[in-house]
Chains A and B, each alone.
Chain A
């Protein structure tokens, strides 16, 4: 049996057009490739030391 109140909590307000800019700036765009490059750089730096 579905609980209405619990289900309602799953619904979030939709982003309005005015909020789009802020949403874009706040988006975390870090991907796996960035992490890999950073890890490789850290390993290289450690080896150099």
Chain B
């Protein structure tokens, strides 16, 4: 104990040995403060928390610097679930004595975990909300909220008391008593708890008729808790009882309705789907069929073209080949060449040479009629031309000797093809031209006659018949000019 005036340590005297101040009254105040603290400590030990709070607050009224009393008051508040009040006391305590103060540990214990502090705050908010619900006459909600609060902080005496009050208001005396018993276990001499307890005990006690005076023996609703939610199911409402036959009939009716729904709703839909799928399949097959038909038509056209080409080639081949499969024209050419070689073995004036030449010429005519020389091979054309040139001069003379008498006999139609061959075999032979020109003129083929006679005059300009030829040429020119 220190002097309030100079701060010196006080002795057993009623005055300060240092400054002489009168400290008798001051000492008595300090002693009273300590006495209240001791009593509060004793009450706290007996779990008379309300009494302890009263004594400790008295102690602090005498001496605000009684650190032990303030720390203990904080602890008692904390035990009652009043965490913020406890924190307040500890903070003041710590400010009063910053060093070697156990309040520091208490504060750190609470503030160490942010989740714990948040949980404490949530609990307080829910309690305040429950109080608001009570004042709004939403008692069911208030009960639910308070149960949440107590699940988070089971030591919250005021929440237990409020919950008990709500139960009492709804005449749930058993539940109210359970809450009050919990309160009493934590705080034995709480006046409010004791008042409520007496009321509950009075309501639960048997009356004069021996019946329990519970105003409602049966609760109006069944309440049960699922996690943090309290579910309320009215007791009076029951499911109507159904007989077995009724249940069976209901099941049958449900089945019939189900089948009807299937028939009228599901089956048409399924059928439509199946039809659509079938139609799609048919369309697909039809498209594929059309494509194949087109392909077949193309192929048929190709076959026809190939057949036509084959027929054409076959005909062409038949022109070349004989019945025995050998190339007829080539064979004929070889035979003609063979006859030409044979003819050359004879003298120029011999009859045999003339015969072989004639046979050769006949075969050459056949070859010329059967093939197109320009389309034959080069060797074929060379051999053909060799034989043709070989027999040309002789055959030209021979044909002239046949054609000229016909011309002289005025048988122009017969003379012309023979004389044409004479000219063809040897174009340098001028004699056939005169006879051919006169024959043309004789049948009225003036232009051809003019060309043949001019060729004759060109080869033999000095012959006697050249004069005649010129006269005819002049005449023909006049005729053609007109």
A residues bordering B, Cβ < 8 Å? 1-2, 4, 7-8, 10-11, 13-20, 23-24, 27, 29-34, 36-37, 40
B interface secondary structure, majority: helix
CB-CB nearest in chain A for B196: A2
Interchain CB contact under 8 A, B169 and A16: no
Residue of B nearest to A3 (CB): B169
Q: A11-B158, A32-B62 are in contact. Are A17 and B199 (CB under 8 A)?
A: no
CB distance from A28 to the nearest CB of B (A): 10
A18 / chain B contacts, CB cutoff of 8 Å: 121
Within 8 Å CB of A7, what residues of B?
165
Q: Name the residue among B29, B192, B195 with the largest chain A CB count within 10 angstroms.
A: B29
The number of residue pairs between A and B whose CB atoms lie closer than 8 Å in the complex comes to: 90
Contacts from B to A (Cβ < 8 Å) = 4-5, 21-22, 25-26, 29-30, 32-33, 60-65, 82, 84-85, 87-88, 91-92, 117, 120-121, 124-125, 127-128, 131, 134-135, 158, 161-162, 165, 168-169, 192, 195-196, 199
A33 touches B30 (CB 8 A): yes
Which residue, of B62, B84, B92, B196, has the highest number of chain A Cβ atoms within 10 A?
Answer: B84
CA distance A13 to B129 in the complex (A): 9
Set of chain A residues within 8 Å of B82, measured between Cβ atoms: 14
Given known A31-B62, A32-B63, A33-B62, contact A2–B199 (CB-CB < 8 A): yes
Contact status B88-A27, CB under 8 Å: yes
List, in ascending order, chain B residues with CB within 8 A of A33's CB. 4, 26, 29-30, 62-65
Chain A residues with CB under 8 A of B117: 17
User: In the bound complex, what is the Cα–Cα distance between A32 and B356 (angstroms)?
Assistant: 176
User: Which single member of A20, A30, A36 contacts B88 (CB below 8 Å)?
Assistant: A20
Q: Hey, which chain B residues are within 8 Å of A15, CB to CB?
A: 84-85, 88, 124
Query: A34, B64: Cβ atoms under 8 Å?
Result: yes
**Residues A16 and B121 in contact in the complex (CB < 8 Å), given A32-B61, A33-B4, A33-B29:** yes
CB distance from A45 to the nearest CB of B (A): 14
Nearest chain A CB to B441 CB, angstrom units: 146
Contact of A23 among B88, B120, B162 (CB under 8 A): B88
Q: CA separation between A27 and B96, bound complex, in Å?
A: 14
> What residues of B have a CB within 8 angstroms of the CB of A24 in the complex?
88, 91-92
Q: For the complex, what is the distance from the CA of A16 to the CA of B124, rounded to whole Å?
A: 6
Interface CB pairs A-B, < 8 A, 23 = A1-B199, A2-B168, A2-B195, A2-B199, A10-B192, A11-B158, A15-B85, A20-B91, A27-B88, A27-B92, A29-B64, A29-B92, A30-B64, A31-B61, A31-B63, A31-B64, A31-B65, A33-B29, A36-B25, A37-B5, A37-B26, A40-B21, A40-B22
Asked if B199 contacts A13 (CB within 8 A), the reply is no
Q: How far, in angstroms, from A30 to B64 measured CA to CA in the complex?
A: 7
| Bound CA span A10–B162, Å | 10
Could you say which residues of chain B place their CB within 8 Å of the CB of A31?
Answer: 33, 60-65
Q: Distance in Å from the Cβ of A12 to the closest Cβ of chain B?
A: 8
User: B165 near A8 (CB under 8 angstroms)?
Assistant: yes
A37 CB, nearest partner CB in chain B, Å? 5
Apart from A14-B82, A24-B88, A31-B63, 15 more pairs, CB < 8 Å? A10-B192, A14-B128, A15-B88, A16-B124, A17-B117, A17-B120, A17-B121, A19-B84, A20-B88, A20-B91, A29-B92, A33-B63, A33-B65, A34-B64, A36-B4
Closest to A31 in B: B64
B5: A residues at CB distance < 8 A: 37
* A13–B131 touching, CB < 8 Å: yes
A18–B92 Cα distance when bound, in Å, is: 16
Determine the distance from Cα of A24 to Cα of B85 in the docked complex, in whole angstroms: 9
Give B446 Cβ to nearest chain A Cβ, in Å. Answer: 140
- A30: chain B residues within 8 A (beta carbon): 64
Decide if B62 touches A13 in the complex (CB within 8 Å).
Answer: no
Tell me if B124 and A17 are in contact (CB < 8 A): yes
List 6 tightest A-B contacts by C-beta distance, closest first. Answer: A31-B64, A15-B84, A32-B62, A4-B169, A13-B128, A17-B121
Closest B residue to A39 by CB, please name it.
B25
Kindly report which residue of chain A lies nearest to residue B26, judged by CB atoms: A36
Select from chain A the residue with minimum beta-carbon distance to B156. Answer: A14
Q: Indicate which residue in B4, B135, B169 contacts A37 across the interface (CB closer than 8 Å).
A: B4
Given the complex, which residues of A lie within 8 Å of B92, measured CB to CB? 24, 27, 29
* Shortest Cβ distance from residue B461 to the other chain A in the assembled complex, whole angstroms: 149
